[in-house]
Structures are given as structure tokens and as C-alpha cells.
């Protein structure tokens, strides 16, 4: 495994851990038992990548390599232990969720490009990998998915995926392109949370 | 691509466009942002065929051919633009939804038959292709799926799928069989909306 | 097909039938039409195994063998006919649900082991096969999934899957291992219903 591959592998593991933590923090506001927590952590952290791999007909990443499964369960249990002893602000899960979104957008887009997907499909795979786990998490927690609530979310993911594809097309190295794309997702998403950046909401006429 | 294949390809593209329009018209009654709209349009128009292809282990149709993706986004945005300027009746989305159901039932059943699936599986694939996108759309819009509300819906789809399989078995050409099956779905579904045709609803004893 | 394979095949068919019955008993408390019932029966009984097969990239079991599809529809319709004439206690569906959970945990874990999956993945596949159909059923019926409500449920499934893997590792025959694992799931799950065994519920601090 060379440097770039190690970097992308680390990005994937870190994305799984952050999304598992966000899942537990989100589920923590509901009367879930320990196992329900673990299920939400697994769904939030493995859901997007699983859907991407099934659609692309690749071997599902956490079946090919158990490390992701272990990272998800470990991060979920660690977060669970933490929140039993420390009182955390209720919107804290937005931070690991944003980091997970950035990491998964990059790893999802890279995986689709590596399969030879055309650019529109590859960027959509980045978005699916980034947002699908969070949708499943919110549906399991019986909340309106974050992605639909107006603040820039999937838009941040799509912008990052398109930047990544553009930079790679322009000949920029995969490591720098991944860094720039992930940073763009994070900046847009955190800015959207802080400054309430939104897309125009549809005014229903019907 | 010969005449029949062109016809079936056109049926698939048209089904995607009508279902994307129905998705936007349905989502338009909720405070979704522009991106949420596009997601609902994509899920409504690509969901059923994606599930069919994953179950049949075919390459997912919109990954093999980006035209479907472009048709879905274009139809979704066009509908979005239209409803911002024109006041439309609230049940209007039932019409593109019914047309999409007919088109997808035909293309889903055909795709399963072409893979050599036995008749019961093939007819169920037609129904899955027809109704699954609408179920996802309604779940995302937090409404009870149309398919469960009593009016003939999946029944219309199944009747059409069975007619298609029967006609092809009887030696009728694929084009005429597709036309007759699609017309049957549309007639049953529109009749069900207009005249409130329903299956017996289960009277709970438990 | 030798004795063990026949046994496992029978376990799979029986699991499908029990889960279809549980689906209809659950849906029977809602105003679903006949077709909605069949859809819930199909989703409850085929959902978990379908997800397992798609993740493992096997041919989906009910497409490879229509018997499962027929067993599901037949058990669903028989249950539907029964409950129209007999008044049944409202929590009765918990019994076929528990039997279905035990049967599917065994068949799901066996299928993953037969594909050469490592133990953690194989046990998770058993849990997914066991619980996913019930999650879809409850979401379609607009109820909180049983698996998240605190009583031991997925935990029972996981314990059975781990016992099955341990016994096979220890050289116990596949038939006896399947029997012991299925019995363990059933005992834990029925005990949890009767004696309200629960995992600690997370006390939200956030």
C-alpha cells in the first residue's frame, strides 16, 4: 500500500469512526437500549458506503475488511461511555457528522472514480456515500433527515465531490485533491450551521 | 438498437421523467430546499429500477447509462420551475405518478424476463420497479405510501405485469404486449382514482 | 441434497412462513388493503435474507428458488383468512416473530459461513437476516421497530449466531449446532417478552 492508498484508507476508517460517534450522539436523545445504539452507529457509519458498493457491484467494504466494522463498534461504544459521564451540548453531534460527511464524500468519490465511473455518476456516489448513512440514522431516530432541512448539506458534499473530480482532471495529485475537497465540504457545512446558509426553500403553490 | 429496443428504451426514459416530476410535485407541498427536491426526484425515479437491478444482479441502469440520471434531474428541475410560477391542483401529481407506474411496470417486467426470470419473479420485479420509487418518495415526504391506502395501485401494476407475460407467452410481439400492458395499468389506476375502486380493507379483529 | 442441507432448507422455508404470518398479524391492526398485507408479508419475510444476499453478492434466495416466494404469499394469505374469522390477542404476532427470528438467525449465519465470511461478519449477517425484515415491517406499519424498544431482541439473535459459530468451530455437527443456536434465540427472546429482560437503556445527558 503506497502513501496515497494509506491516506485514503485512513480517511475511510476515520469517516466510519466519526459517523458512528455522530449516530450515538443523535440516538442518545432517544430511549434506545445499548444494542439499538450499536445498530444506529453501524447504520450511520456503514450505510452510505454499503449502498455505494452495492450500486457499483463492488465487494461491500466492511465485508472485505473487518477493520471498518471494528472501528464503527469501538467508536460507537466509546462515545456511549463518554456521554454517560459527561454532559454534552445537544447539537454537538453536528460536528462529527460534518467531519464524517467530508471524509465520506472524498472516499466515496474516489472509489467510484477508481471503478471508471463517469463524472456525474462519480460525484453522485460521493454524495450518496456522504449522506445516506445520516438519512438512515435520522429515520431510525424518527427525525426529519438533516439533509432535507434547508441548511446546505448535500450541496456541501456535491461541491466537494465536483472539486475533487475537477482537481484530478486538472492533474493535481490525489492526496492534495482529497485534502482540498474535504476542506471545502467542511467549510461549507460548518459555515451553513454557523451562519444559516440555505438553499432557497420551495414555496408551495400547490 | 432495433425498433423494440428503442421503444423499451424510450419507455424507460419517459418513466424516469414522469416519476421525477411526480416526486417534485409531491415534495412541493413540504418545506424542502432545492437539493431536497432533487433528491426526492432521483429517489422516486431511480429507486424502483435500482432495487430491481440490485436484486437481479444486473449493472444498475443509471450507472450503465447516464441518460437516465440526466433525464431525472432535468425533469425534476423543469417541474420545479413550472410550479414556482403556475398554481397547480394538489392532486395533480397522481397523473404523472400513474403514467410512471405504467411505464415502469412494463420496463421492469421486460428486464426481468430478459434475464430469464420465471414468471412469478418477473411479475414481482415489474411491481417492485413500478411501486418502490413511489414508496421511497412518500417515506421521504413523511406521508403514508400511496400503495397502501386502499385504492388499486400495486394491483394495477401486477395486473399489467401478468398481462404482459401472458401476451408474450401467447406469441404477441413485444411492442404490442408492452402497449397493452401499459394501457391496462393506466386504465385500472386512473379508474381507481376516479371511481375509488379499492381492494377489501382488512377489518382488524386483533 | 443431503440431510443437513434439507434441514437448513426447511429452516429457511419455515422462517419465511413464520415471518410472513407475523407481518400480516402486525399489519392487521392498520387499515391496509389485501395487497398492502401481501406487501408487508413479503417485506417482513424476504427483506432480511435479501439484504444479506445483496451484501454478500450471492444470488438473492427467492429469485434463485421461487418456493420461498410461494411460501411467503401462502402463509400471508392463510394468516389473513384466519384473522378475518378468529379474534386473536393483539400481541400474538410476537410468537411467530420470535420463531422467525430464531430460524432466520440460523439460516443467515450459515449462509455467510458457507461463503467463507469471517466470524464477526458472519454473526452480523445472522443478525441482519433475523432483524431487518421486522424493521421494514414496522416502518411500513409506521411503528417503532421492535428491535429498538429495549426488550432483548437483536441481542438474542446475536447470542444465537455466536453460539452457532462457536459450536461449529468446536466441531459440533451443523444440525445440532443449528438446533442449539435456534433454541437459544427463542429462549432469550421469549424470556425477554415474558420477564421483560432488557438491556440498559441509555439515559440521555445531552
* pLDDT of res. B188: 94
d(CA A151, CA A154) in angstroms, rounded, equals 9
Q: Average pLDDT by consecutive 10-residue portion of chain C (206 residues)? A: 74 88 81 78 91 88 89 91 76 84 92 87 91 84 72 88 95 90 94 82 52
Contact A92 C118 (CB under 8 A): no
Strand, helix or coil at B186?
helix
CB contact under 8 A, B204 and C57: no
Give me the pLDDT at residue A179, please.
Answer: 92
pLDDT digits (tens, 9 = 90+) for B74-132: 999 998 888 777 777 767 778 888 998 999 999 999 989 988 888 888 999 999 999 98
CB spacing of C202 vs A89 below 8 angstroms: no
User: Partners for A (CB, 8 Å, 3+ pairs)?
Assistant: B, C
Whether residue C153 lies within 8 A of chain A, CB to CB, comes out as yes
pLDDT in tens, C48-88: 999 999 988 888 889 888 899 999 999 999 988 887 777 77
Q: Is pLDDT larger for residue B170 or for residue C91?
A: B170
Q: How many CB atoms lie within 10 A of CB A173?
A: 12
So what's the ipTM on this one?
0.75
B77 vs chain C: nearest CA distance in angstroms? 29
- Please check whether residue A201 lies inside any domain of the structure: no
Residue A72 domain flag: yes
Q: Cβ–Cβ contacts within 10 Å for residue A6, how many?
A: 11
Residue A203 covered by a domain: no
C28 touches chain B (CB under 8 A): yes
Of A50, A63, A139, the CB nearest to C121: A63
Select the residue of A35, A80, A83 nearest C155 (Cβ to Cβ).
A35
CA C194 centroid distance within chain: 19
Domain for residue B62, yes or no? yes
Q: Is A81 exposed, middle or buried (0-12, 13-18, 19+ CB in 10 A)?
A: exposed
Terminal CA-to-CA distance of chain A, rounded, Å? Answer: 55
Mean pLDDT across the stretch B189-198?
A: 87
A205 occurs within a structural domain: no
Predicted pLDDT of residue C46: 93
CB–CB of B121/B31 below 8 Å? Answer: no
Stretch A162-189: mean pLDDT, rounded? 93
Measured in angstroms, the CA of B160 and the nearest CA of chain A are apart by: 28
For chain C positions 74-113, those within 8 Å of chain A (CB to CB) are none
CA distance C11 to C162: 18
**A55 interaction partners in chain B (CB closer than 8 Å):** 50, 54, 60, 63
Spatial distance between the Cα atoms of C145 and C151, rounded to a whole number of angstroms: 11
Considering only CA atoms, which of A110, A164, A160, A136 is closest in space to residue A51? A136
Give the rounded percent of residues in chain B with a pLDDT score beyond 70: 92
Question: How near does any CA of chain B get to the CA of A84, in Å?
Answer: 32
Residue B42 φ/ψ, nearest 5 degrees:
-65, -45
pLDDT band at A206 (very low <50, low <70, confident <90, very high): very low
Cβ-based neighbour number of residue B18 at 10 Å: 24
The stretch B16-29 carries a mean pLDDT of 85
The answer to whether B66 and A121 have CB atoms below 8 angstroms apart is: yes
Give the predicted TM-score (pTM) of the model: 0.83
> Could you give the CA distance from residue B17 to residue B11 in angstroms, rounded to a whole number?
10
How far is the alpha carbon of B129 from chain A, nearest alpha carbon, in Å?
16
**Count: domains in chain A:** 1
Q: Is the pLDDT assigned to residue B205 strictly greater than 90? A: no
Helices (H), ranges, A57-173: 61-64, 67-85, 94-114, 119-140, 154-169
List the single best residue of B54, B120, B123, B202 to mutate versus C (max C Cβ within 10 A).
B202
How many Cα neighbours within 13 Å face the side chain of A83?
27
Q: What pLDDT does C93 receive?
A: 77
Which of helix, strand or coil describes residue B124?
helix
- For residue B201, the model assigns a pLDDT of 63
Chain A CB within 8 Å of residue C203 CB: yes
Compute how many other C-beta atoms are within 10 angstroms of the C-beta atom of residue C205: 14
In this complex, is the C-beta atom of C196 within 8 Å of any C-beta atom belonging to chain A? no
**What pLDDT does residue A205 have?**
46
- Choose the closest CB to B66 out of A118, A202, A203: A118
Minimum CA–CA partner of B139 in chain A: A139
Cell numbers for B5? 429496443
Alpha-helix runs per DSSP H in chain C: 3-27, 34-56, 61-64, 67-85, 94-114, 119-140, 154-169, 174-195
Cβ of C140 under 8 Å from any chain B Cβ?
yes
What residue in A sits closest to C51 (Cα-Cα)? A54
Provide the total of helices (H) and of strands (E) in chain B, helices listed first.
Answer: 8, 0
Q: Which residue in chain A has the smallest CA separation from B40?
A: A148
At residue A201, the pLDDT reads 63
Q: With CA atoms as reference, report the closest residue to A164 among A155, A173, A152.
A: A173
Q: B192: which 3 cell numbers? A: 381507481
pLDDT tens digits along B43-60: 999 999 999 999 888 888
Length of chain B counted residue by residue? 206
Picking from B117, B147, B154, the nearest residue to C63 by CB comes out as: B117
Distance CA A146, CA A134 (A): 8
B81: containing domain: 3-195
Instruction: Read off the DSSP letter of residue A198.
Output: B
Inside any domain, residue B175: yes
Report residue B150: phi and psi, to 5°: 105, -45
C201 assigned to some structural domain: no
Q: What is the pLDDT of residues A22-74, one digit of tens each?
A: 888 888 777 777 777 888 899 999 999 999 999 888 888 898 888 999 999 99
Which residue among B29, B35, B50 places its CB closest to the CB of A154?
A: B35
Smallest CA–CA distance, residue A33 to chain C, in Å, is 4
Residue B204, in any domain of the structure: no
The whole-angstrom distance between C24's CA and the closest CA on chain B is 10
Between B95 and A2, whose confidence is greater?
Answer: B95
Tell me if chain A has a CB within 8 Å of the CB of B63. Answer: yes
C134: left (phi over 0), alpha (psi -120 to 50) or beta: alpha
Amino acid at each position: 500500500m503506497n502513501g496515497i492508498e494509506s491516506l485514503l484508507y485512513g480517511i475511510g476508517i476515520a469517516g466510519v469512526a466519526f459517523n458512528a460517534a455522530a449516530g450515538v450522539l443523535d440516538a442518545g436523545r432517544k430511549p434506545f437500549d445499548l444494542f439499538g445504539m450499536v445498530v444506529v452507529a453501524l447504520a450511520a457509519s456503514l450505510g452510505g458506503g454499503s449502498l455505494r458498493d452495492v450500486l457499483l457491484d463492488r465487494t461491500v467494504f466492511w465485508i472485505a475488511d473487518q477493520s471498518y466494522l471494528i472501528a464503527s463498534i469501538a467508536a460507537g461504544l466509546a462515545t456511549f461511555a463518554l456521554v454517560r459521564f459527561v454532559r454534552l451540548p445537544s447539537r454537538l453531534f453536528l460536528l462529527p457528522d460534518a467531519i464524517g460527511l467530508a471524509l465520506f464524500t472524498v472516499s466515496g468519490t474516489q472509489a467510484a472514480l477508481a471503478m471508471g465511473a463517469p463524472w456525474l455518476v462519480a460525484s453522485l456516489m460521493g454524495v450518496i456515500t456522504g449522506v445516506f448513512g445520516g438519512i438512515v440514522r435520522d429515520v431510525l431516530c424518527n427525525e426529519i433527515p438533516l439533509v432535507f432541512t434547508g441548511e446546505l448539506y448535500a450541496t456541501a458534499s456535491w461541491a466537494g465531490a465536483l472539486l475533487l473530480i475537477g482537481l484530478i482532471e486538472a492533474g493535481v495529485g490525489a492526496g492534495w485533491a482529497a485534502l482540498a475537497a474535504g476542506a471545502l465540504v467542511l467549510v461549507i457545512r460548518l459555515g451553513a450551521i454557523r451562519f444559516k446558509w440555505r438553499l432557497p426553500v420551495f414555496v408551495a403553490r400547490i
